[in-house]
Amino acid sequence: MFASPAASQSLGDRFRSLFGGKPEEPAQGVPPPAAEGESDLTCPPVSIRAGASTYAVAAPGKQPIGNDLRYQATITRTARECTKTGDQITARIGIQGRIIAGPAGAPSSVEIPLRVAVVQGGVQEKTIATKAYQTTVSMSEDGSEPFTLVAEDMVYPVPPGATGDSYIFYIGFDPQALKPEPKAARKKK
């Protein structure tokens, strides 16, 4: 699934209008104001999944280190907004980051694979919902480009009782999201 910006707004403007604030203000951890009648709605915090905060890509057959690094992406800022409709919660998760070209040289455009998951934290974490996203970024000659993705369609059931207080939005890079879905295995005759 590809996330696309509104045609009339730049990605940065859409991110700021969706989650409020100026570019200098940190949006991470600031809950949006609750709409009337939704005061009991808890919008989980956003956390970058351990080990998924950086996405490094190398030339084919090489490791993404040293002179073999083509580009590296990092997540720099996040935001979220939740809306309750009946027994479902629709969340919008905003992710901003930067892609930097490496010594091996980045291609003219790169595919950035991201995953957003709603997880019930605790001793045994439980995944409530998860979704993969991709965004394409055109690289410039200076070798450093920002990227923004707003995942607007993360839907999950309203948590029972106070369990919503233990929910977390995990985000991170997911290289597996770039691979095509495996085809159904053929049956032997």
The pLDDT tens digits for 41-56 are 789 999 999 889 999 9
186 in a structural domain: no
Asked if residue 19 has pLDDT above 80, the reply is no
6 part of a folded domain: no
In a domain, 184, yes or no: no
Beta strands in the chain, from DSSP E residues, in sequence order? 46-48, 54-58, 69-85, 88-101, 109-120, 126-138, 144-157, 167-173
Q: For residue 99, is it within any domain?
A: yes
At residue 36, does pLDDT exceed 70?
no
Model pLDDT for residues 135-146, shown as the tens digit of each residue = 999 998 888 999
Residue 5 belongs to a domain? no
Name the DSSP letter for residue 59.
S
Spatial CB neighbours of 126, under 8 Å, sequence gap ≥ 6: 119, 120
Q: What angle do CA 156, 159, 163 make, to 5 degrees?
A: 135
pLDDT given for residue 140 in this prediction: 86
Mean pLDDT of the chain: 80
Which of the pair, 183 or 143, is modelled with greater confidence?
143
How far apart CA 84 and CA 105 sit, in angstroms, is 45
Q: What is the pLDDT of residues 115-131, one digit of tens each?
A: 999 999 888 999 999 99
Model pTM greater than 0.75?
A: no
Residue 100 lies in a domain: yes
Residue 35 pLDDT more than 90? no
Evaluate whether residue 22 is within a structural domain. Answer: yes
| Domain hosting residue 161, numbered range | 11-177
- Provide the number of structural domains found in the chain: 1
Say what the pLDDT of residue 31 is. Answer: 42
Residue 183 located in a structural domain:
no
Better-scored residue on pLDDT, 113 or 40:
113
